[in-house]
Structure 1
């Protein structure tokens, strides 16, 4: 799946030059043939050399899960086709880290600038863009691709529209950035584009929304994705026109692919015409396991059997029948991990989905069929009409009769991102997440259907867990571990000019000592502490809390226990974090990974006075000064933590040098709580070059890593780790947190 903007390569760009001298490139088979041809012409005409993937300095791909990715060298740069285009436009090689196809780099390839945003909004936009793979310019330079404006009155806007700027610059409302962050997708530009953004038109014509999505106007790869999702038989077409998309690959069809003999013969004929060799168990000594050892690709239906596990450990490509049809019809290799339906699923429905009755609205044609397929794969009942018996309505917009009826009947209304994420994690996720109830103003979200990927890193982490013999319950086995996102990992000590003791508290006692003095904290009426609860009072709900730098007396704690709130013994228990400002304490940094409700101390005082645990609304932490200090939006951080499920740093290893932080045990606790690993010292070059390894250090330890820095290894400050955990977003490309520059 192409996750980032692709570029066109026109003959005007193909001029003789030396720009790419020293660049040994390999174009992945996932790149469309016409784009591949253009890339090769441009690169070779300007000094580049086409080589095998093992010798490449640059692999050009629209996915990180390209064919033979394991054969690429450790120091290879993986870039999108946009890297070539931007380098040609600028007349200089662009930084490869800004053109990564990694789906965690949401804004890869974007170079942004502010037109007339207020300072705080501009700072937030800069942080979002740079932490998720993009670049920021303080002025409107020729290389800017995205200009964010609130009005058309700024000098930058006038310059972008009147002077000779390149044709691809997009002038957008900053709301596009907010909505893309909310959904973790690049939202369609249409509703946010100047000169007349429909987003601002209250009475905009929504006829196109009411018509729903059809194949018309849909990009080619999505047309093929949707049309092949329900196929169990090769589409009829001229085999003579087939490309050698499977050339030299040995493919084994698992017995779990239940199709008729006629269908199997048709599939095998399709593959042979594409250049594949069919592996069978007919030869002497043949068995399914031997066939997997022999093949390059396993085509199977489920991911919870012995054949799948065997193929996974041997690094085989594993895909579904729908993936075969998609690759064949598109005549372009893509990774099965790039699409939900292209990778095998568990053999059981998602727990809780069999009780769901789901209808959809504002989808039509192929997109409607695709949605129906997703619902059925999850194990829910799909209904064409909406009745009071439905449990959920999936809508692409908030328009239409079904939406009105669902609201009247109290039926949950969500967007398709909820369904895709449930399939991704193979778990019933709560719809009460702003990501799932977001709908674009004056538009629909259909354009982002089919952009959810399992991801290479997820499968690799699962493979590692399987190799280590970790036990999984029947429920968790089907759930591939949460995707490693571009979330932050931040350092655990303040700068040298700030007092450590105030920010990094010691580990507080997990027990409540009820024998201490019963003093009333400021703001709590003393009589409240001595007023007995009414007879028979029972907790209305269970709450486990951490309180950090908040004064809760022993008497208060005892009363909270009677109301149903107990101190948590470990971060994963925490449902509520009580704090009056954003802090980098152990309790704050470890518990935020579990997405607790973060409330201020007034919630405790008012709950005691009302003698019940009050709703959190109205008490959620808001402290502008401390939030600005660490560049964190607590609401968004908690939302991201809900998505990460304590796996923000999963798969990451942090090497921490002696002077990097004041308390190494504290850093270890923070890293572990977010799913990562911490090691003391610095790694060797081989480990340092691993993409999920990070060195956290201080300039006082420069002698330990300066040789690695000469090899292009980036070394980060401790704020890279801490502020990232607070934000739940890893600032990978923010130079503010780098001691060196790769």
Structure 2
């Protein structure tokens, strides 16, 4: 919560902090900012060049700013980016510091008062990301006082100044959700009725020094949470290409606005129960507070993540214009709720198995289930949609003969974004007529101009799919320039260098199979730049593929019955501790009452009631699955020893998973819960038994066989273990795993003669040690007593057999 000038004189940075920053300064940049850049190893260019990585400007009125963006595709940031990056000890995302004055909160100075620390951090990140400033000091600079309570010295002072607006934190959240500033009067704290009397905040909270909240580290976390740097969850750099979304992860492009993976939920009722990253995106938010969106990856690369996409709320064909009126999604006479937009859709996934990991395919399946659809393991006549990448596979040909709809993961991504199952309207939505080995635009070097945000990302995907190379900058080496409008610096240079300029339709037609378009850049249809929907595909080339869409999808009787019951698909939001005056529906019922706890559909006898635990899932998924288990009569187990069903997405070496191998009757994927919820009863576990081919191959075991062995006899029955002090995992964790497998752990070192005697009787004693404790076991070694590493237990439990050779010291 600092401005550019506040406290920057004392800032220092390591000599390599800005080593990767090659910058061009534009405007009146302070000496302190220039000093920090030089001190951190940044390299300054005295002229604008494509060798630069950043342009630092105090406003956007300079011609170099537009040239940097249009010609060189360089990020432009304000000097504040340098100051706050130095304070946060990390390079912050560019998008939060662009010099435009038309951001949502541009020109606003918000004073945050009586707000918990975690909420202050989240609010600071949101406001700063969208051009505003936050502070704790209440002074003449303030335009808004943000407080949840109509009390306090700052509140009383603000009431005396009519130019200062007083709002609750909900005003920030709703402004972001609606993409425009809301009327402040509707968010005045005096409109909040408190249902519970709360203790007053600590005496020092009101006047806490501004420089300490949030701390420098927290400032970086708040902004990095709103704009990820492109690392996947395992720390590996993501490949910039099409990807399946989070709803199924996060964006690899630091120009993509916030997604919802890192910041988590704001727990205080002051800010709301939705995720900050969902709020800061333009997409829709489902009932669980989770945005579910997919987008596929380029065929030559592995699908690693799921990102947040930005799309118009309504595709063009839903507005009633053009040839699209021939095609239908669901029966237009049936009103399908957005949360079940895939109702009646039965998918079969082909082609993508070689491009994504099994765990990620399982995530796709879970998201489809959450939206009312189903994913079959193999092709059959009951399939309605074939999710495929190209038209080369025999599955595509069979689906075409059977009149099935063939679409790509891009289509599924966009449909989940708009939450309505509609016919494909982009070239990316249909499988390509060429295989991966044949790329029609090999050798082409393409640049784009006039497209921003998701439109630019879509173009990058299309360029890669066609086999061409994308360049952010424009030079004489480019063979084609794709323009949104015939204007800008790149367009001028293209005319000067006689580089063909075309619209998106040119690339779209090539992807759809019109390869002649490559040499027909001068056709009038490719020189028209007035289309409101430049990505809309030409259905002339895809009449055969679009044939099945001429008939609306018919819902089964079961699906219609489920729809009529208005079944719940997501975790209901918890009741708020405060409510607004007048927030009632037409029947006079307060809207908060709609989130009352839901009773189970049915109650099962204790002996038939599944007791479920989860491992390896994020909190949002656990909350969602927990509600569904309880709704159909299941229970959440108190501990792993009482658990009958352990739910996980993959084989893990956690205490809960390893203990579950020994104690649980079933280890299943989340699809078991989703499928059970869909059928309103617990389904057969066999079809959903967890399979993790990668981990099973690595450790040389079969999980299903391990579970079978564990049911027959406990692995460590009549077995005791002594563990030396420095064994990892620590003693309490190892004790839980051993006891779940029927063994015992002794706390004192057993004498040599007792260990020797245990070889002939029961219980048998094993010694577990590590490299740093080997000397403690010298007396055992001198008496030919084997000692083992922790892997004897960990891998042994996973495989449900003891390996006396591989893990002996």
Please tell me whether Structure 1 or Structure 2 has the larger radius of gyration of its CA atoms: 2
Structure 1 and Structure 2 fold alike (TM over 0.5): no
TM-score with structure 1 setting the length:
0.26
Higher-RCO chain (CA-CA 8 Å, sequence separation at least 6): 1
